[in-house]
Structure 1
Amino acid sequence: MAIPEFVVALRAKIGHDPLPLPGVIAVVLDDHDRVLLVRRSDTGDWTLTTGCLEPGEQPAAGAIREVREETGLDVTVERLLSAEALDLSVAPNGDQIHWLAIGLQCRATGGTAHVNDDESTDVAWFEPSAVPPLPPHQQRCLDLVLSAKPSF
């Protein structure tokens, strides 16, 4: 996974110490309310589209950018789903991260879903009942979409 340049610069100063970072989780739906998933190249797991926000980037803009970068799709953001501080995570290289995960419901508006970068090996639409297991914080976002209730 490509590490944003601002994170590389911060890591040069703080090493592997815990770093708080804002990220987005995009629950992308198509016109048939199927869910877009990507298969991660590092783990092989199916996940929702996620990514780190750039400094000063608004969450909706970040979600739109991440979906386009990873899948080639254009989306519009329909609503905020959640804002959740995740437990400390440790990357394979030892970097410690405290993610603030912002969940957004998005709707595909153009393009054709395909692998568009090296972060994934596959992209596919799933019926909600056929979505494979997701990380718990991503499943909570999907559950909010399916129940049509925001978490706050």
Structure 2
Amino acid sequence: MTNRPNYIAWIRERVGHELIFLNFAGGIICNEDEEVLLQRRGDSGAWGFPGGAMELGESAEETAIREIYEETGLIVKVERLIGVYTKYVHHYPGGDQAQSIMFFFQCTPVSGELVTDGDETLELKFFPKNELPQLFVKQHEDAYNDWRSGEFGVCR
């Protein structure tokens, strides 16, 4: 397998803005007060759960751990799969379209400190479970609702 450090850029060079499948992984992270960590994203300014695109050769769990670290500064332990969310189409500001396949995990922080880069992550904040702001995509809302209701192993 060829190592492509930015798979999305590589595939977009070939297909332009056409609708493609993209795989993502991320997590719902709670602190000791059972508050939920959200990331205010640099691309949209909206709130969502930390996570991002899989690179070739990675598992969904490896992607979640790497992306959460890159976006938050936290090293996490994946506790369990919340679900796989597949029937969602996202239109990006630059015109790209993707049917995103997202693996959501329940995660626990192991070490690290919250760090924002001012680019991909504008802000990180823990919110009480019943006081979350509007999430930036339906995929995140569905995963959060499944997690809150105790549904695990969901496939949508």
**TM-score scaled to structure 2, two decimals?**
0.87
Q: Hey, which bits of structure 1, 4+ residues long, moved more than 6 A? A: none
Residue of structure 2 in register with 1:46 after alignment: 47
Residue of structure 2 in register with 1:146 after alignment: 148
What is the DSSP-based 3-state SS (H/G/I as helix, E as strand, rest coil) of the residue aligned with 2:94? coil
Q: Report 1:1-150 matches (<5 A).
A: 5-116=6-117, 118-134=119-135, 135-150=137-152
Partners of 2:55 and 2:89 in 1: CA distance: 20
Gaps of 5+ in 1: none
Q: How many residue pairs end up in the alignment?
A: 149
Overall identity of the aligned pairs, in %? 30
What is the DSSP-based 3-state SS (H/G/I as helix, E as strand, rest coil) of the residue aligned with 1:129? coil
* Contact 1:72-1:116 within 8 A present in 2 as well: no
Distance 1:88 1:26, change over 3 A: same
What is the DSSP-based 3-state SS (H/G/I as helix, E as strand, rest coil) of the residue aligned with 1:61? helix
* Contact 2:22-2:101 within 8 A present in 1 as well: yes
| CA deviation vs aligned residue, 1:82-139 (integer Å, no higher than 9, x gap) | 1121332221111121111111111111112221462121111111011111132112
* Contact 1:38-1:123 within 8 A present in 2 as well: yes
* Contact 2:80-2:106 within 8 A present in 1 as well: yes
Partners of 1:131 and 1:55 in 2: CA distance: 33
**TM-score scaled to structure 1, two decimals?**
0.90
| CA deviation vs aligned residue, 1:68-94 (integer Å, no higher than 9, x gap) | 101101100011011121332221111
Gaps of 5+ in 2: none
Partners of 2:96 and 2:69 in 1: CA distance: 26
| CA deviation vs aligned residue, 1:17-60 (integer Å, no higher than 9, x gap) | 11111111311112222111111122221111120011121111
* Contact 2:25-2:104 within 8 A present in 1 as well: yes
